[in-house]
Structures are given as C-alpha cells and as structure tokens.
Structure 1
C-alpha cells in the first residue's frame, strides 16, 4: 500500500519568479527515494491565511506526510508557524525546548525578540534540530498525518529534513523505490510511445520519456524507468528487463542508445 506525501513551500519570492523552487524538488526526490508517493506540491505566499488554508486542505486528504518549507526565520514575514497553528486550530506558543536550541546557537549573543520569535510553534509541536542554522524545524502528528516544517534556506532545509527522517518519522513506507534511465538519439517520442505503453503494462512500472531535442529534425530523448516494490531484488530485475527491451527497440528502429 502506497504512502502519500505532500509538499508545501512558502515564500513570496517563489511566486514572483525571484527564486527557483529547488526546495520542492529536493524534498520530493528525497521522499520518493524512500518509497513515498508525492501527490501534490503547492507554493503559497507568506500569508497566514494562505498557509492555514492549504494545511486544512492537506489534512482533509489525510496523507501520511506533509513537509512544509520556508518562513521559520526571525523576520516579520516569516509566518509559517503562525499559519500552521491557525490551520490546526491551535495556539502559537513559545516552545521551551526550541528556545533552548536557539540559545545554544547564539551562545553569549543576546536572544532578542526577533531571535526569540523562532521558538514560537503550534501548541504540542516538537522542535527538530537544525545543524546548519538557527531556526528549529517543527514536527507535529495530526491523526494519520505527520507534519514537518523546515526553514527555507536550502542547507538548513536539508539538515532539518534529514534529522526528521532519521530520528522522528514514525511511519515509513514498506516499499523500496528505484529507477534507471538511458538516452536515445534519432528516434521520435511519438514513435517510441506505443512501445512505452506496452512496457508499462507488462512490467507495472512508470516510464517517462523526456524530450531533450526536437521531435521533428533532431529527436533526442531521456527515457526514465521507475517503480517501487516490497522486494528490492524483484524490482531491480523488472527495471533491468524493461530497460533492456526498450534499448533493443530503439536500436532496431535505427536510433542510437547512449
């Protein structure tokens, strides 16, 4: 049985084109590698009501995991904790464990109100250590869904995410995920498409052709083959057999496999 996950990224800069949403890509790939099925990736502005609205929508779908990234810092527009609290119908309270983590990072430097702001979390939350920065992550379990909020700075997001996955995550997928890929030059995507469909059915795998050239004139494809299974060896055998067949088809059609 698949375990669904969703990703919510927060930040005006993601929506006005100033910043590329690399956090969403990293989180999705990391969760997929563990066997989660990422069903949705959503981006919203730094607005409490927008964050709360998405949190409510996600919880109505009851995924196993929601990862939120961005908006946990010390500035006025870092409002993710407040938005999550509103979405859950919980108060925003100062978390003593989070405050201890923040104080340990600043050492002798004064913990000003702006810095102390990073210790405020939804009631009942657990702070997740941030080994690459100051603001702790936020962890909650709401019914069937585990929620993690991370800072938006990529290295801090990665640190909090890994700490959570290794030390806090309760429910883990019972399947493994694997993928293979190869490149095919000189064969059009539309020509390969029927063969892809038949192999999807035959091997029960996800196969995606990514055009890298032009369909007419200079066809060049990356063929991605992926799947999940409780049995890693069985999955690897399916992937290998499927890739071998597709490579042979490309070669027989006059294409060049790279």
Structure 2
C-alpha cells in the first residue's frame, strides 16, 4: 500500500532565533503519521520571500503533501501566500470566499476592512480558502502538479483548528490505514545493552517501527521509554502488532536478566 510523503515547512524568524518553540511541527507530524502519511522532512525558514519560495518549490517536487505554517497575518513580513504563489508560478489574487470570511470576522467585532486586513484575502490563483475558526486569516489548499499544498497560520490554536479542516480536504489521498503507537518504560538497563534486544524485537513485525528514548543516565540511572508504531488496515490489528512487539521485547529482557 502506497503511503503519501509529506514535507512540513514552518516559517518565521522567531523560530530561527529561538524566541518560540516549534510546537507546530510536532503536532502536524504526529497527526500526519497517525493518518498513514510518511513525514520525510521538517524545514524551518525565515521570513524571506526567496527562501520560502525556494523551499516550497523543492517540497512540491519531492512530496505528495506540503504543509506550511506561519506568515499569514496583516503585517509586512507576513509573505507566505506571496511566496507560495511564486513557488508554483501563479499570481496572487483577491479570493472572493476568503474576503467574505475576513469581512465577517471584522464586521462581527465592529471593525472596518483596512488595507492590512484586506491583504489576508489574497491567495494564489486557484487556491481554496481554509476557514479560520479561531482568528482572522484564512489558510489555503492548493492542488498543484500532483502535490497537495496546505497553507496554515503560525498561531498554534489557529493552526490546530484549521489542520483538522485541512486533513478532511486530503482524505481522498490518505491511505486506508490505521497507525497505532504503544509504549513501555524500562528501568535499570543501559540503552547500549537494550539496543540488540530492540533489534531482535523489530524483526517480529515488518510494519512496525521501534524506537528508544532515554530519559535517565546511561549507566547510573537508566530509564528508557520504548515506543512501537505499527500500521494495519484497521486500528485493532495495528495496536495488536505493536503490543506483540512489546511483549516479545519484555520476554527478551527477562531472558537476559535470568541468564
């Protein structure tokens, strides 16, 4: 079964200088993974039109799904829509549906439609606006040359609300697949000693991914979270696969301890 590949492009100088943590990347990556998509790359780009356009152009040429966040607001450095339009060689135009969304948002609050607010209604030609249930700026969905581009805001509350809408737009290309994750915490075994047991356990399931996450000291106080991600046509089977790998790992550990 083919699983779509995705790039996530997070835009904003505030990410590059460490002013805020890039939580959007983690949220999007997890949602896509659980829906059967393979996330191939996460890229952070500053608020520079050429850099954004170049990155989006490369992403479109490499992935089935491209999700961007950030740069949709009313200020001069909010240039993501313009950059996406440049990346796919299409003009930026006033989108009637996006304009209606923005007008309704500000009318409800007794505010006029200024030049800066109108700016948020300009989308790449052919884009479908994604409504923003939380804020003012709509996002965009673009089907371009076999790639599905989703443009979302950077404010986490807005992004998360709009991501759900965007994923519904992508439903027709998502695999009929469930991805389940199960985990255990192992104490008292250094990760270097656990590694060969993880290798053996991973061979139990070709559709599973097993990963260790050390939390304590390697020798003095080893604490390791082990996560197994499994995929299958239905969630019960996927979960059973993951649990079977963990059960086998536990038996391997018990065997090592009793040796």
TM over 0.5: yes
Aligned partners of 2:237 and 2:152: how far apart in 1? 35
Who is 2:100 aligned against? 100
Who is 2:211 aligned against? 208
Q: 1:27 Cα deviation (Å)?
A: 0.6
1:20 aligns with 2:21: yes
Q: Cα deviations across residues 172-212 of structure 1 (Å, max 9, x unaligned)?
A: 12211001001000001111111111121221211101000
Q: 1:227 Cα deviation (Å)?
A: 1.7
Structure 1 residues 123 and 169 mapped into 2: Cα distance closer, same or farther (>3 Å)? farther
Aligned partners of 2:75 and 2:257: how far apart in 1? 59
Aligned partners of 1:239 and 1:159: how far apart in 2? 29
- Indicate which of 235, 238, 241 corresponds to 1:235: 238
TM-score between both structures, scaled by the size of structure 1 = 0.94
The 3-state SS of whatever aligns with 1:110 is coil
Q: 1:44 Cα deviation (Å)?
A: 0.1
1:57 aligns with 2:54: no
Q: 1:159 Cα deviation (Å)?
A: 1.3
Aligned partners of 1:172 and 1:78: how far apart in 2? 30
Q: Cα deviations across residues 213-251 of structure 1 (Å, max 9, x unaligned)?
A: 111211110001112122433322221211112123334
Who is 2:89 aligned against? 89
Q: Cα deviations across residues 76-101 of structure 1 (Å, max 9, x unaligned)?
A: 11000011011011111111110000
1:80 aligns with 2:83: no
Contact 1:14/1:21 (CA < 8 Å) preserved in 2? Answer: yes
- Indicate which of 165, 175, 184 corresponds to 1:173: 175
Aligned partners of 1:190 and 1:182: how far apart in 2? 17
The number of equivalent residue pairs is 254
The CA RMSD over aligned residues, in Å, is 1.5
Aligned pairs for 1:1-258 (under 5 A) are 1-61=2-62, 63-107=63-107, 108-167=110-169, 169-204=171-206, 205-254=208-257
Structure 1 residues 129 and 67 mapped into 2: Cα distance closer, same or farther (>3 Å)? same
Contact 2:94/2:122 (CA < 8 Å) preserved in 1? Answer: yes
Specify every segment of 5 or more residues in structure 1 that has no aligned partner in the other structure, as ranges.
Answer: none
Aligned partners of 1:239 and 1:90: how far apart in 2? 45
Q: Cα deviations across residues 53-88 of structure 1 (Å, max 9, x unaligned)?
A: 011111111x22111000000011100001101101
Aligned partners of 1:245 and 1:146: how far apart in 2? 40
Q: 1:143 Cα deviation (Å)?
A: 2.1
Aligned partners of 1:59 and 1:23: how far apart in 2? 20
Aligned partners of 1:168 and 1:180: how far apart in 2? 26
